[in-house]
A and B are shown apart, each in its own frame.
Chain A
Amino acid sequence: MNKTASINGKRIQSERVRLIKRYRVLLLMMVPAMAYYAIFHYAPMYGVLLAFKDYKLTEGIVGSPWAGLKHFETVFSDSYFYTILENTLVISLYKLVFGFPIPIMFALLMSEIVSAKYKKLVQTVSYLPHFMSWVVLGGIFFTVFSLEGPVNSIVKLLGGDPVLFLADDRYFRSILVATSIYQGFGWGSIIYFAAITNIDPQLHEAAIMDGAGRFQRMIRISIPMLAPVIAIMLILSMSGILDAGFDQIFNMYNVKVYRVADIIDTYVYRKGLLEMNYSYATAVGLFKSAVALVLIVVVNQVVKRLGGRDHALW
């Protein structure tokens, strides 16, 4: 038994050496990438140690003295931290609940359109907002939601008083969700649309022969066939639940709406880069990254248990 194992071991070893020799140029090709990942992705991971140290500019990250969990204690005892945590979760959840179904419905409706040309036109137009940055979109929405702008004109027409929506903490979150849907509904529908067109037409033919109407076919065929795609997109959305849309919020928010719209990332930016409170901000950021990691692993496991390995990410 042992002899065979060591012979096999040697065989595997020499096989690997043979492959290394054969592929040595390819392995060389991996060097730039590995250096890149080491420096720009893994070194910053090491940098999260900042959260456990008192950063001294002159000492750098390595030389600064340890502070243990001090900064985390500060973070968790700060009541404002819970405000931003709540905002992050609530805004993400609103965006999920209202925003997740829309690309799916849009894709389903689009697939019912007969004219290929019209379909193309609608799709092309719908992708447009996705290609604009939130600097551009933010600027445009400042006009749209301003006191004298179109939205308030409609409000006035309906007999109401104009509202400065973007400075009003009663409406700001709704605007975030609505504009976020505006930017993403078209682009988000691509994946669902691709899945729908991949559905075996024989399924539909059989249903038609059984007398099923369009709506019935949508509910009984299209949606169930979309389930795997929906599951994966849902997992990905859940893993992003602590993101809440920094680009959008950072460009559209202002001091008046911090209470409802300040999220983890905007807070880390202000505390860290503006106030230069590096250790504190890193602690908050590390909290977020760690929770997000745990979340995606857990959600993936859950989906595996519920739906079988095919639906999960790994």
Chain B
Amino acid sequence: MINVKKSRGDRVVDVVLYAAMAVVMIITVYPFWTQVVISLDGGGAGGAAYASGMILWPKELTLASYKLAFDFAELWTGYGNTILRTVVGVLLAVFFTALTSYPLAKRDLPFNGVFTGIILFTMLFGGGLIPTYLLIKELNMINTLWALVIPGMIGAFNVLIMRNFFRGIPEEIEESARVDGAGYAMIFFRIVLPLSKPVLATIALWVGVGHWNAWFDAMIYVNDPGKQVLQVILRKIVIQNDMSDINNVINSIGKATAFSGRQLQATVIMFSIIPMLVVYPFIQKYFVKGVMIGAIKG
């Protein structure tokens, strides 16, 4: 790129641009920051910083609210259930999506067009909420883990991405294995999958985040509170403003300190997003790469 001397005007634009981006970052982070502040704020039953309006800094730092959350058993069962559905969901999705995409990568596979058509059509039309719900009910999957991990298991978009990746694997590698007498199953498991770590990781992350954040399916399919996922428990407290469970915990522990509803909600929110915030910087670059691969090829 030829070096262009920047004019004064250009430099001013640069400064404005940098400043504007800084403002964008602040606006993006601020809503999350309010939760951090409120959850840590001790001054007057967790209300001081909040009541002052512009939530900038806790008046008094206190971890009391977090200690309470630790004793809130439902949060932990919620975590457990979420981790369970995420792990099982990711394993099933990655395996079966790969299993489906590999044959489709062979352009001369008989009925390839039919298979692809069947899969792609589901992106255009679906049964809708009620028929799907009734089906799950009919299959006796209500209140089971399966209702959460199977319905979305093989996503059409993910199939396309994996298929295109598999098509990029040089034929010679498979050919030489065929010559050595390997069947396609062995080629798939021993050669193709190990070579596909990037795409498997990308799909795993996409599906994983999806499961971690999923709430609607758990809300309608899971009735047993002990089986409920974190997002739904969070939803009860934060969206439906249902503090009954937390209040039970407070009473049973006999905590004298009063907690404001807002502070409890903020703490529970922090509890559920901290894992995501910790993992996020490391995984986001895989996501971005995945989108770019998917977009350019697909």
A residues at B contact (CB < 8 Å): 16, 19-20, 23, 25-27, 29-30, 32-34, 36-37, 39-48, 50, 60-61, 106, 109-110, 112-114, 118, 121-129, 131-133, 135-144, 148-150, 152-154, 156, 182, 186, 190-191, 194, 198, 201, 204-205, 208-209, 214, 229, 247, 250-251, 265, 268-269, 272-273, 278, 281-282, 285-286, 288-290, 292-293, 296-297
Q: Could you tell me the dominant secondary structure of chain A's interface residues?
A: helix
Q: Measured between alpha carbons, how far is A251 from B240 in the docked complex, in Å?
A: 9
Q: Measured between alpha carbons, how far is A263 from B209 in the docked complex, in Å?
A: 26
User: Which single residue of chain B is at the shortest CB-CB distance from A202?
Assistant: B1
Q: Measured between alpha carbons, how far is A186 from B132 in the docked complex, in Å?
A: 33
Q: Any chain A CB within 8 A of the CB of B228?
A: no
List CB contacts (< 8 Å) of B1-19 with chain A.
1-2, 4, 10, 13-14, 17-18
Task: Please give the distance in Å from B53's CB to the nearest CB on chain A.
Answer: 3
Task: Please give the distance in Å from B113's CB to the nearest CB on chain A.
Answer: 13
Cβ–Cβ contact A132 & B273, under 8 A? yes
A-B CB proximity, top 5 nearest: A44-B127, A47-B131, A153-B53, A139-B238, A285-B128
Which residues from A are CB-within-8-Å of B18? Answer: 113, 118
Which residues from A are CB-within-8-Å of B201? Answer: none
Which residues from A are CB-within-8-Å of B213? Answer: 131-133, 135
**Of B27, B109, B126, B220, which one neighbours A289 at CB under 8 angstroms?**
B126
Q: Measured between alpha carbons, how far is A281 from B128 in the docked complex, in Å?
A: 10
Cβ–Cβ contact B34 & A144, under 8 A? yes
List CB contacts (< 8 Å) of B85-117 with chain A.
96, 99-100, 102-104, 106, 108-111, 115
Instruction: Tell which of B58-66, B181-189, B243-251 binds the partner.
Output: B181-189
Query: How many pairs, one residue from A and one from B, have CB atoms within 8 Å of each other in the complex?
Result: 265
**Of A30, A36, A265, which one neighbours B115 at CB under 8 angstroms?**
A30
Cβ–Cβ contact B134 & A61, under 8 A? yes
Cβ–Cβ contact B99 & A29, under 8 A? yes
Q: Measured between alpha carbons, how far is A149 from B34 in the docked complex, in Å?
A: 10
Task: Please give the distance in Å from B273's CB to the nearest CB on chain A.
Answer: 6
Q: Any chain A CB within 8 A of the CB of B118?
A: yes
**Of A136, A142, A182, A278, which one neighbours B130 at CB under 8 angstroms?**
A278
Q: Measured between alpha carbons, how far is A25 from B50 in the docked complex, in Å?
A: 63
Supposing A25-B183, A25-B184, A139-B239 touch, asked if A43 and B109 sit within 8 A by C-beta, the answer is no
Cβ–Cβ contact A251 & B235, under 8 A? yes
Q: Any chain A CB within 8 A of the CB of B291?
A: yes
Which residues from A are CB-within-8-Å of B276? Answer: 131-132
Cβ–Cβ contact A149 & B135, under 8 A? no
Q: Can you list 28 A-B pairs with a CB-CB distance of less than 8 A? A: A25-B185, A27-B110, A34-B115, A36-B153, A37-B119, A40-B150, A44-B135, A45-B125, A45-B126, A45-B127, A47-B127, A47-B134, A61-B134, A124-B281, A128-B280, A131-B213, A133-B215, A136-B238, A136-B273, A140-B31, A140-B34, A140-B269, A143-B35, A149-B53, A186-B28, A191-B292, A273-B130, A285-B128
Cβ–Cβ contact A23 & B110, under 8 A? yes
Q: Measured between alpha carbons, how far is A296 from B262 in the docked complex, in Å?
A: 44
Cβ–Cβ contact A36 & B96, under 8 A? yes
Supposing A29-B103, A148-B50, A150-B53 touch, asked if A281 and B295 sit within 8 A by C-beta, the answer is no
Which residues from A are CB-within-8-Å of B191? Answer: none
Q: Measured between alpha carbons, how far is A148 from B213 in the docked complex, in Å?
A: 29
Cβ–Cβ contact A26 & B53, under 8 A? no
Interface size class of B (residues with CB under 8 A): 35 or more
**Of B29, B104, B128, B220, which one neighbours A125 at CB under 8 angstroms?**
B29
Cβ–Cβ contact A125 & B238, under 8 A? no
List CB contacts (< 8 Å) of B118-146 with chain A.
118-119, 122, 124-135, 138-139
Cβ–Cβ contact B292 & A194, under 8 A? yes
Q: Any chain A CB within 8 A of the CB of B234?
A: yes
User: Which single residue of chain B is at the shortest CB-CB distance from A232?
Assistant: B295
Q: Any chain A CB within 8 A of the CB of B258?
A: no
Which residues from A are CB-within-8-Å of B54? Answer: 150, 153-154
Supposing A19-B109, A132-B273 touch, asked if A33 and B99 sit within 8 A by C-beta, the answer is yes
List CB contacts (< 8 Å) of B211-246 with chain A.
213-216, 220, 231-232, 234-235, 238-239
Which residues from B are CB-within-8-Å of A25? Answer: 183-185
Task: Please give the distance in Å from B21's CB to the nearest CB on chain A.
Answer: 5
Cβ–Cβ contact A30 & B129, under 8 A? no
Q: Any chain A CB within 8 A of the CB of B151?
A: yes
Task: Please give the distance in Å from B262's CB to the nearest CB on chain A.
Answer: 7
Which residues from A are CB-within-8-Å of B177? Answer: none
Task: Please give the distance in Å from B142's CB to the nearest CB on chain A.
Answer: 12
Which residues from B are CB-within-8-Å of A43? Answer: 127, 131, 135
**Of A39, A122, A191, which one neighbours B25 at CB under 8 angstroms?**
A122
Q: Any chain A CB within 8 A of the CB of B38?
A: yes
